[in-house]
């Protein structure tokens, strides 16, 4: 085996040692992979017009949660969130200035008609949500 072959094989082995993936087996029912939201009360879905979105928020501290900045497109102060089965209200959303922003443009009926995309640098795709007020209930669930 020549040097190049050894380097390629060594690189592949090294890369595979650091790989993280979910493996779903054909001989195991899918329900073994499904988790209940109540098992993770500090993680909550963000919603668009009442529909579940492919984004979540994660509680960091009392009254603070983190999510991706692009997930906040329809959130604004006063938006309602459901965390661990409890309703709470968003007080403010903080995006890094380097990210810019995205905003839904709505008509008089409240329907989205366009998206204002002012993202400057998508590598800063993070946001903090302030005002999450169901913390005491969740902390009890987490036994903290």
| Residues near 124 by beta carbon (within 8 Å), at least 6 away in sequence | 69, 95, 96, 98, 99
* Model pLDDT for residues 2-39, shown as the tens digit of each residue: 676 666 666 656 555 554 555 667 787 877 777 777 77
* Model pLDDT for residues 37-83, shown as the tens digit of each residue: 777 878 888 875 556 567 889 988 778 889 999 998 888 888 888 87
| Residues near 69 by beta carbon (within 8 Å), at least 6 away in sequence | 95, 96, 99, 101, 102, 124, 125, 126, 127
DSSP category for residue 32: G
DSSP assignment of 69-127? GGGGTT--TT-EEEETTEEEE--EEE--TTTEEEEEEE-TTS-EEEEEEEES-GGG--E
Instruction: Indicate the pTM of the whole model.
Output: 0.66
End-to-end Cα distance, the chain: 57
C-alpha–C-alpha distance, residues 130 and 127, integer Å:
10
C-alpha–C-alpha distance, residues 117 and 99, integer Å:
11
- Domains of the chain in sequence order: 30-141 (2.40.10.10)
The residue among 41 and 118 whose pLDDT is bigger is: 118
**Model pLDDT, residue 4:** 67
Give the residue from 74, 50, 84 showing the smallest Cα distance to 129.
Answer: 74
pLDDT class of 129 with cuts at 50, 70, 90: very high
């Amino acid at each position: 085996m020549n040097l190049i072959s050894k380097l390629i094989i060594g690189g592949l082995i090294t890369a595979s040692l650091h790989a993280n993936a979910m493996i779903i087996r054909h001989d195991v029912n899918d329900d073994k992979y499904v988790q209940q939201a109540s098992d993770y009360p500090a993680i909550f879905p963000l919603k668009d017009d009442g529909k579940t979105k492919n984004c979540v928020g994660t509680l960091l501290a009392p009254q603070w949660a983190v999510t991706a900045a692009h997930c906040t497109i329809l959130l604004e102060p006063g938006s309602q969130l459901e965390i661990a089965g409890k309703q709470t209200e968003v007080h403010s959303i903080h995006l890094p200035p380097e990210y810019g922003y995205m905003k839904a443009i709505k008509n008089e009926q409240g329907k989205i008609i366009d998206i204002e995309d002012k993202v400057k640098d998508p590598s800063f795709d993070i946001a903090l949500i302030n005002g999450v007020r169901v913390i005491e209930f969740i902390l009890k669930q987490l036994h903290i």
